[in-house]
């Protein structure tokens, strides 16, 4: 209820009005659409699901800038603030690069006050139980290595920003909202690669400590899968022991998104 009230308040400050967003998205898709508020999480923009008329589910997602949110974020001393148009352009660039290697949503439209990307159905890695994680986490780590090797710096590869879809066998990285200096595309430094791996494992540990499996053992199979992943690599950015300690919450992330 609080999130929805905050969403409605932030709508009052939309940089591009909903009518114009609908019109431009309709024109690009060639089909009339509805916008449905999407209030999960707390990002640097308002999100709407795009539902074409007659469709059974959403096909795209809008991220729109709100002056209400901008004022809040700009005052946050912990944020490396950049204006919405710079954030949106950078995020669209990163997601487009991810889509090119099969690990992100396609970008449909990029405007000053909003952008539209493909909607990725599925569940975040953070929502999986131990048995499912044992199957999906090694694949997630492989996917993370793939984008690092492709020179794509996601900036926030958290467990909440990695979606898996068992029915389609698909993994996709979504929101890349943390703003950092320097290019997001190009050869990744060892520090950035380390940050990406630590970020995924540390946020996964935090999500489990707050979820329904709080206090439960992660399971030998899951921990062994993580050990094996880092043991098999010729030049791992993490030792197997450090990776497991991150996943179990016994240590914390050492690198920031520099």
Between 198 and 81, the more confident residue is: 198
Does 46 share its domain with 149? no
> Tokens at residue 57, please?
């589910």
Written as six digits, the tokens of 71 are 């004022």
Q: Of residues 140 and 78, which shows the higher confidence score?
A: 140
Q: Average the pLDDT over each of 189-198, 216-225, 248-257 and give the range with the smallest value.
A: 216-225
DSSP assigned state of 30? T
Q: How confident is the model at residue 213 (pLDDT cuts 50, 70, 90)?
A: low
Please indicate, yes or no, whether residues 129 and 178 belong to a single structural domain of this protein.
yes
Q: Are residues 107 and 128 in the same domain?
A: no
State the pLDDT at residue 30: 96
pLDDT of residue 215 exceeding 60 = no
Q: How many helices (H) and strands (E) does the chain have?
A: 8, 8
pTM (2 d.p.): 0.91
Distance CA 57, CA 36 (A): 11
Q: Let me know whether 113 and 187 are in one domain.
A: no
Q: Bigger pLDDT: 1 or 101? A: 101
Tokens encoding 137: 């986490």
pLDDT digits (tens, 9 = 90+) for 231-244: 998 888 999 999 99
Q: Are residues 131 and 223 in the same domain?
A: yes
Does residue 233 share a domain with residue 142?
yes
Range of the domain at 98: 2-118
Predicted confidence (pLDDT) per residue in 150-186, tens digit:
999 999 999 999 999 988 889 999 999 888 888 899 9
Answer yes or no: is pLDDT of 216 > 60.
Answer: no
Whether residue 137 sits in one domain with residue 109? no
- Mean pLDDT of the chain, nearest integer: 91
Question: Regarding predicted confidence, which is higher, 20 or 184?
Answer: 20
Instruction: Provide CB contacts within 8 A for 43, sequence distance 6+.
Output: 63, 175, 177
Q: pLDDT over 70 for what percent of the chain?
A: 95
Instruction: Identify whether 11 is part of a domain.
Output: yes
User: How many angstroms separate the CA atoms of 35 and 53, rounded?
Assistant: 10
Distance from CA of residue 126 to its chain's centroid?
11
What is the reported pLDDT for 179?
82
Same domain, yes or no: 206 and 104:
no
Which CATH number characterizes residue 23's domain? 3.30.200.20
Q: What pLDDT, on the 0 to 100 scale, is given for residue 40? A: 81
Residue with tokens 């974020």: 73
Domain boundary pick from 118, 138, 163: 118
Going by DSSP bridges, is the β-strand pair 123-124/170-173 parallel, antiparallel, or unpaired?
A: unpaired
In a domain, 239, yes or no: yes
CATH number at residue 237: 1.10.510
* 60 falls within a domain: yes
The per-residue DSSP string of 80-95 comes to ----HHHHHHHHHHHH
Do 114 and 142 reside in the same domain of the chain? no
Q: Output DSSP code: residue 62.
A: E
Give the confidence band of 228 by pLDDT, cuts at 50, 70, 90: very high
Whether residue 53 is predicted with pLDDT greater than 50 in this model: the reply is yes
Contacts of 238 (CB under 8 A, 6+ apart): 194, 197, 198, 201, 230, 246
């Amino acid at each position: 209820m609080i999130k929805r009230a905050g969403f409605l308040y932030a709508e009052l400050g939309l940089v591009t009005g909903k009518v114009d967003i609908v019109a431009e998205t309709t024109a690009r898709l060639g089909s009339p659409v509805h916008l449905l508020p999407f209030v999960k999480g707390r990002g640097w923009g308002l999100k709407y699901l795009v539902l074409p008329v007659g469709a059974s589910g959403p096909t795209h997602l809008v991220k729109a800038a709100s002056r209400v949110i901008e004022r809040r974020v700009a005052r946050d001393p912990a944020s490396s603030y950049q204006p919405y148009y710079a954030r949106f352009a950078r995020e669209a660039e990163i997601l487009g690069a991810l889509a090119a290697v099969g690990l992100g949503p396609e970008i449909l439209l990029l405007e000053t006050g909003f952008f539209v990307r493909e909607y990725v159905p599925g569940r975040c890695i953070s929502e999986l139980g131990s048995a499912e994680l044992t199957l999906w986490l090694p694949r997630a780590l492989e996917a993370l290595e793939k984008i690092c090797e492709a020179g794509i710096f996601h900036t926030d590869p958290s467990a909440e920003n990695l979606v898996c879809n068992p029915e389609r066998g698909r993994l996709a990285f979504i929101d890349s909202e943390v703003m950092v200096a320097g290019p997001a595309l190009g050869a990744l430094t060892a520090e950035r690669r380390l940050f990406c791996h630590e970020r995924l494992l540390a946020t996964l540990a935090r999500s489990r400590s707050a979820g329904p499996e709080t206090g439960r053992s992660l399971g030998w199979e899951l921990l062994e899968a993580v050990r094996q992943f880092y043991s098999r690599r010729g030049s791992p950015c993490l030792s197997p022991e450090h990776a497991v300690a991150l996943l179990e919450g016994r240590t914390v992330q050492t690198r920031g998104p520099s």
